[in-house]
Chains A and B, each alone.
Chain A
Amino acid sequence: MVLPRLTSLLRNLFQKQREEHELDEEVRTHEQLLVDENVRAGMNPQEARRQARLELGGVEQVKEQVREIRAGQLLETLGCDVRYAARLMRRSPAFTTTAVLTLALGIGANTAVFSVVNTVLLRPLPYPDSDRLVQIWSTNPNTNRWGMWTAYPRFEDWRQLNTVFEEMATARTWVISIKGGDHPESLFGVITSSQIFQLLRVQPMLGRGFLPEEDQPGHDHVIILSYGLWQRRFGSDRAVIGRTVDVDQQNYTVIGVMPSDFRFPPELPASYRVDAWLPPAPDPSRNERVSNNYYTFARLKPGVTLAQAQAEMDAINHGLAEKHSADRGLGVKVVGWRRQVGSEVRPALLILLGAISLVLLIACANVANLLLARGAMRQREAALRQALGAARARLIRQFLTESMLLAVFGGAIGLLLAYEGVDLFVRLAPHIPRLNETTIDPHVLIFSVVLTLGTALIFGIAPALQGSRTDLQDSLKESGSRLTIGSTRARARSVLVVAEMALALMLLAGAGLLVRSFVRVQQVDLGFNPKNLLTAFVMLPPSKYPEPRRQALFFHEVMDRIASLPGVECAGGADSAPMLTNDTGTVSIEGHPVEPEIQAERPKITPDYFRAMGIRLLRGRTFTWADSEGSLPVAIINESAARQYWPDEDAMGKRVKLEDGSAPVWRQVIGIVGDVRQDSVVEAARPEVYAPLLQVPVPYLALAVRTWAGPTALTVAVRHAVMAVDKDQPLSGIKTMEQVVEDSVAGRRFQMSLLAVFATIALGLAAIGIYGLMSYTVNQRTHEIGIRMALGAKRGEILHLVVRHGMMLAIVGVVLGTVGALLLTRFLSSMLYGVGANDPTTLLSVGTLLIGVAALACYIPARRATRVDPMEALRYE
């Protein structure tokens, strides 16, 4: 009875068209048969056809009547089950609320996490036909520190030589300052080759994009504004096109304004706004083959695969290496752009998705448990229905309809929660590329619908199978006396509780490992003191300060002014400071063979830099303003450099050379300082070779201002100190060092907090699950417990009886969960710090925690069992 209906349902849903066609054919055949009949009766064909039409009474009407019958049938059976299920839900509001809310939480959290995964990892980049876009960079097999970039001249070669790309462009971020208004402003610009907008297939909202020749000298003083800058600084004036603006003391012509939703580069943090796009004119490194500063991307020609592109780029690169020494030892990598943009956060997001789906599984187990408990109470109903002739399949369908209805309500509320959850996620999350684009789009909706239906099946199938398996004899016996509980049902519930425990343990283990890692991270000795330290960037426009001497003098004066501010203890600056900026490159060591692989951090610093940062001086002396042009070239190295470059000798007095384009002189090591965590809190220190700013001037410094208290209060004073030296010189990126350090661990903190929240929910759900089972068992066994007590069992024995049952389940769950954790935690290893993926301490403590919580959850019903009044219990029923 069910099968034909089910096939008819499927026919209706999936084969609507064929069905229609068949119906049409059936009715037309009928007409034809009537005609045949009439012809045989002696009518002429025309008359026969007319009579047949009369009898048929309209093909379409007949078809419509059939369609109504079919739809009605479908709705009637479904409607019947749904109505019944709804009535049941209304009748037990506590059960319904618990189940629906549990599911809503599970489905909602999953939907929210998925919507982030969908945006960051799955959704195409916000440019037309973006699946053809790739990113290309130079790799260095020895150090691999260059990562994602290449040098501008190399990009130009690539662009000219390749045949696989429709277009190739390159870009880097660049801070520019513009004049006018009440104060000079540092703008966050993007320097780019001229093909960028054709490549991305994006048009400016006003004006035009760059012309092909506009990245060449002589044509390159043009600028395109962002929508935000156009609104803010130019009052949304459409006549801005063609106007001249002062950028770094030079005249640039505004040629376009980009639309407000244009974002480039796509992985830029949401908090960053790009203000303007301009040709590479201001960047002196654009002609250097050794400065790998450019982010290069391209559009594949139609029909060209990634592998073909990689092969051709390899060949081109090989050819270039023969011509240019700077290209030797460099590889080239072509990857899909969208994949690359999400690559860093991919493991973290997938782990979150995995964790939250475990939470949903536990929620499912809990609801299944509730349904099983209720199934026990509805056993008589099921038996009665079967006695009245309902097939088992019909009962299963009824139960599944009920589950479906619960899930649909849960899913609907879950979706509302997800809307809120996504907002919260986006607000709290650290930098994740494209996160701000997160929306609940059709893909997410489909996901949550499938999830809801899948959830209903997962939690509904066991109760439906159980509930429909009624043996009339059994159920009669059971309702007669309650000496024992239905054994298969109890087993099913026990299995669910064990599964919940195991899943919860896996989540707790993961969260525990992250928490322990985070504690380790917090304990790391950074090598500097981030407390009471204000940082900011100053970038001198090369057009205004072309002479290195003047750059150095500017910073000397700025340092003096800042150091004399009230509230400031001391101030320093470096062009490479921990977690702020880098200048990694080659150094030579006197007496050693010249090796390009000897890489070091090469900060150029002011004398008070070490004192301001709190970096320990271990030997020798620090720089003074006297270490200048005319004096002996000097350097200070860190412990790592001393150990690595002169493993068996004293480094003091030895000589090093910076291979950075500055004057090639040997510098004498006059001091050794402690290591600092240069790249992030968790990455080991690297060799550093410090040089005095006055000997190696740079136009760009990160300032470090040590204050007596509350560094942020000094922001304005520091800004004015800089403007007092040059009223047009802006200050950017003002942050406390504590904030900088915090930002560098924010991703870790977020990941840990989310997993900890998920694990706590899991723990709570598992506790509720085991509590529910034990309460139910105690209720079922009231009669038995009564008898035991009447026969002289002591309270302690009863307590033991109940708790032992629960603890058995908990222990089995913990053992299974530990096995699962041992298998799964290795996926976490890239996120761990200072603990192994199978850290026994963590596993042991979360196992103990879970067993403790389970013991508490069992103890409460067990105590209730000991309060059973034997007389009452025996009279019961």
Chain B
Amino acid sequence: MPPDQTNLLQGTLDMMILKALALGELHGLGVSRRIEQITKGTFEVKPGSLFPALHRLEEQGWLVSYWGESENKRRAKYYKLTNAGRRRLEAEAKRWGRIALAITRTLEAS
């Protein structure tokens, strides 16, 4: 099942969100900051792509959300990985590993 270009990109963001949430429950801004932190600022996730992705993942049943209190006492919507989401992340990670390896080999071939 070779992923096409857009799927690859979308899949990448989804995977990164799942990964960010695998480390703990976060609100929207928290997710985006965690991704920046993990990727050392390579990826900056803008709200315009963050929120649609979060809602999509929630619709798929990979995330659940609830209203909680932020570190500076604001009511914020928190997201949490479900078991299905955790399995999804594992599968995505494996797939990504294969693709990355394949691409690396392709580029290294001379």
Residues of A within 8 A of B (CB): 1, 3-5, 8, 22, 25-27, 29-30, 32-34, 36-37, 55-58, 61-63, 65-66, 68-70, 73
Q: In the complex the two chains form, is B27's CB within 8 Å of A29's CB?
A: yes
B58 — which chain A residues lie within 8 A by C-beta? Answer: 4, 8
Beyond A27-B51, A33-B29, A33-B76, 6 additional contacts (C-beta under 8 Å) are A4-B58, A26-B28, A29-B74, A33-B27, A33-B72, A56-B47
A73 CA to B52 CA in the complex, in Å?
Answer: 11
B12 — which chain A residues lie within 8 A by C-beta? Answer: none
Q: In the complex the two chains form, is A29's CB within 8 Å of B52's CB?
A: no
Residues of B within 8 A of A (CB): 27-29, 46-49, 51-52, 55-56, 58-61, 64, 70, 72, 74-77, 84
A25 — which chain B residues lie within 8 A by C-beta? Answer: 75, 77
By beta carbon, the residue of chain A nearest B59 is A73
A26 — which chain B residues lie within 8 A by C-beta? Answer: 28, 51, 76-77
By beta carbon, the residue of chain A nearest B49 is A65
Q: In the complex the two chains form, is A36's CB within 8 Å of B84's CB?
A: no
Known contacts A5-B61, A30-B29, A73-B56; A36/B48 CB under 8 A: no
Q: In the complex the two chains form, is B61's CB within 8 Å of A4's CB?
A: yes
A61 — which chain B residues lie within 8 A by C-beta? Answer: 48
A4 CA to B72 CA in the complex, in Å?
Answer: 31
Q: In the complex the two chains form, is A62's CB within 8 Å of B70's CB?
A: no
A666 CA to B92 CA in the complex, in Å?
Answer: 111
By beta carbon, the residue of chain A nearest B84 is A1
By beta carbon, the residue of chain A nearest B55 is A66
Q: In the complex the two chains form, is B52's CB within 8 Å of A65's CB?
A: yes
A65 — which chain B residues lie within 8 A by C-beta? Answer: 48-49, 51-52
Q: In the complex the two chains form, is A33's CB within 8 Å of B74's CB?
A: yes
Known contacts A26-B28, A73-B59; A66/B77 CB under 8 A: no
Q: Can you list the 4 inter-chain pairs with the closest CB atoms, starting with the nearest?
A: A4-B61, A69-B52, A33-B29, A26-B77
B55 — which chain A residues lie within 8 A by C-beta? Answer: 66, 69-70
A66 CA to B47 CA in the complex, in Å?
Answer: 10
B74 — which chain A residues lie within 8 A by C-beta? Answer: 29, 32-33, 36
A497 CA to B47 CA in the complex, in Å?
Answer: 59
- Separation in Å of the A11 CB from the closest CB of chain B? 10
A25 CA to B77 CA in the complex, in Å?
Answer: 9
A29 — which chain B residues lie within 8 A by C-beta? Answer: 27-28, 70, 74-77
A63 CA to B48 CA in the complex, in Å?
Answer: 8
Known contacts A4-B61, A36-B72; A66/B51 CB under 8 A: yes
Q: In the complex the two chains form, is B48's CB within 8 Å of A22's CB?
A: no
Known contacts A4-B59, A26-B28, A55-B46; A66/B52 CB under 8 A: yes
A13 CA to B107 CA in the complex, in Å?
Answer: 49
A56 — which chain B residues lie within 8 A by C-beta? Answer: 47
Give the one of B55, B72, B84 with max A CB within 10 A.
B55
Partner of A55, one of B47, B56, B75, B76: B47
A70 — which chain B residues lie within 8 A by C-beta? Answer: 55, 59
A243 CA to B12 CA in the complex, in Å?
Answer: 90
By beta carbon, the residue of chain A nearest B82 is A4
A1 — which chain B residues lie within 8 A by C-beta? Answer: 60-61, 84
18 A-B pairs within 8 Å (CB atoms) are namely: A1-B84, A5-B60, A22-B77, A25-B77, A26-B51, A26-B76, A27-B51, A30-B51, A30-B76, A32-B74, A37-B29, A57-B47, A58-B48, A62-B47, A66-B55, A69-B56, A73-B56, A73-B60
A37 CA to B33 CA in the complex, in Å?
Answer: 11
By beta carbon, the residue of chain B nearest A61 is B48
- Separation in Å of the B56 CB from the closest CB of chain A? 5
A36 CA to B71 CA in the complex, in Å?
Answer: 11
B61 — which chain A residues lie within 8 A by C-beta? Answer: 1, 3-5
Give the one of A1, A3, A25, A69 with max B CB within 10 A.
A69
Known contacts A8-B59, A70-B59; A57/B76 CB under 8 A: no
- Separation in Å of the B46 CB from the closest CB of chain A? 6
Partner of A57, one of B46, B64, B70, B72: B46
A594 CA to B70 CA in the complex, in Å?
Answer: 97
By beta carbon, the residue of chain A nearest B76 is A29
- Separation in Å of the B58 CB from the closest CB of chain A? 8
Partner of B51, one of A3, A4, A32, A62: A62
A1 CA to B62 CA in the complex, in Å?
Answer: 9
A58 CA to B46 CA in the complex, in Å?
Answer: 11
A34 CA to B52 CA in the complex, in Å?
Answer: 18
Q: In the complex the two chains form, is B48's CB within 8 Å of A57's CB?
A: yes
B84 — which chain A residues lie within 8 A by C-beta? Answer: 1
B51 — which chain A residues lie within 8 A by C-beta? Answer: 26-27, 30, 62-63, 65-66
By beta carbon, the residue of chain B nearest A11 is B59
- Separation in Å of the A12 CB from the closest CB of chain B? 9
A7 CA to B84 CA in the complex, in Å?
Answer: 16
Give the one of A26, A34, A73 with max B CB within 10 A.
A26
B72 — which chain A residues lie within 8 A by C-beta? Answer: 33, 36
A73 CA to B75 CA in the complex, in Å?
Answer: 28
- Separation in Å of the B8 CB from the closest CB of chain A? 18
B60 — which chain A residues lie within 8 A by C-beta? Answer: 1, 4-5, 73
Q: In the complex the two chains form, is B59's CB within 8 Å of A5's CB?
A: yes
- Separation in Å of the A49 CB from the closest CB of chain B? 15
- Separation in Å of the A38 CB from the closest CB of chain B? 12
- Separation in Å of the A176 CB from the closest CB of chain B? 74
B49 — which chain A residues lie within 8 A by C-beta? Answer: 65
A1 CA to B64 CA in the complex, in Å?
Answer: 12
Q: In the complex the two chains form, is A68's CB within 8 Å of B47's CB?
A: no
- Separation in Å of the B59 CB from the closest CB of chain A? 5
A27 — which chain B residues lie within 8 A by C-beta? Answer: 47, 51
- Separation in Å of the B11 CB from the closest CB of chain A? 15
A168 CA to B2 CA in the complex, in Å?
Answer: 82
By beta carbon, the residue of chain A nearest B57 is A69
B27 — which chain A residues lie within 8 A by C-beta? Answer: 29-30, 33
A4 — which chain B residues lie within 8 A by C-beta? Answer: 58-61, 64
- Separation in Å of the B52 CB from the closest CB of chain A? 4
B48 — which chain A residues lie within 8 A by C-beta? Answer: 57-58, 61-62, 65
A364 CA to B29 CA in the complex, in Å?
Answer: 54
A33 CA to B74 CA in the complex, in Å?
Answer: 8
- Separation in Å of the B77 CB from the closest CB of chain A? 4
B56 — which chain A residues lie within 8 A by C-beta? Answer: 69, 73
A55 — which chain B residues lie within 8 A by C-beta? Answer: 46-47
Q: In the complex the two chains form, is A68's CB within 8 Å of B76's CB?
A: no
By beta carbon, the residue of chain A nearest B53 is A69
A776 CA to B64 CA in the complex, in Å?
Answer: 48
A65 CA to B59 CA in the complex, in Å?
Answer: 14
